[in-house]
A and B are shown apart, each in its own frame.
Chain A
Amino acid sequence: GAVVSQHPSRVICKSGTSVKIECRSLDFQATTMFWYRQFPKQSLMLMATSNEGSKATYEQGVEKDKFLINHASLTLSTLTVTSAHPEDSSFYICSAEGRESGSPLHFGNGTRLTVT
């Protein structure tokens, strides 16, 4: 089945630094990937839609200059948290749609970001 790989699974960084998270579709091409964020004991919240070869679409309230998304190929999307602060500590999860139209989204295993 379709597999989405996310890296790193866990990262700790100091306040003010930037962190890049990678999301790869391993056995299929994904023109669209989605980035979610999940705080403890809460549900997943969609942050942005990443489109291959074009600018990402951000949800209301998500700062595009803080959460930089690059989707340069059909198998890779990256999320960079710039100038991270402790309130950015969260579980970040990407997802990608399978090859066939209407196929379900498959999710990566998430990245636990801790900003100290």
Chain B
Amino acid sequence: DAKTTQPPSMDCAEGRAANLPCNHSTISGNEYVYWYRQIHSQGPQYIIHGLKNNETNEMASLIITEDRKSSTLILPHATLRDTAVYYCIDCAGGSNYKLTFGKGTLLTVNP
């Protein structure tokens, strides 16, 4: 079973920032927080991951709380194409790690 909890759905206006929360209160010290998204009928797309520092790439920013029990994925300027199910996963990584997907958050970006 997934160890993270996310709201089942969120709405966001096009052009605005989308802030997607995730609780991972049982995360271990060596586990990363990974974010993926899945657009309908496609495979999951990697977005970003982090251990304890905040991270930013061309797609999004990841803010991890100091106690690492929760994080927020930020899409700075959401577009209609960002409508997808977003998954937050905690996983140790390494040479043989497995991602366990929960139900994720359905983000709907509205015009």
Contacts and interface: CB of A to CB of B under 8 A. Distances in A.
A45 B87 CA distance: 13
Interface stretch (B13-21, B41-49, B61-69, B73-81): B41-49
B43 A46 contact: no
A97 B93 CA distance: 9
Given A32-B96, A102-B93, A44 B101 contact: yes
Majority-rule SS of A interface residues: strand
Interface of B: 2, 32, 34, 36, 38, 41-46, 49, 87, 93-104
A60 interface: no
Interface in A14-48: 31-32, 34, 36, 43-46
Nearest to A10: B41
B43 A43 contact: no
Contacts of A34: 98-99
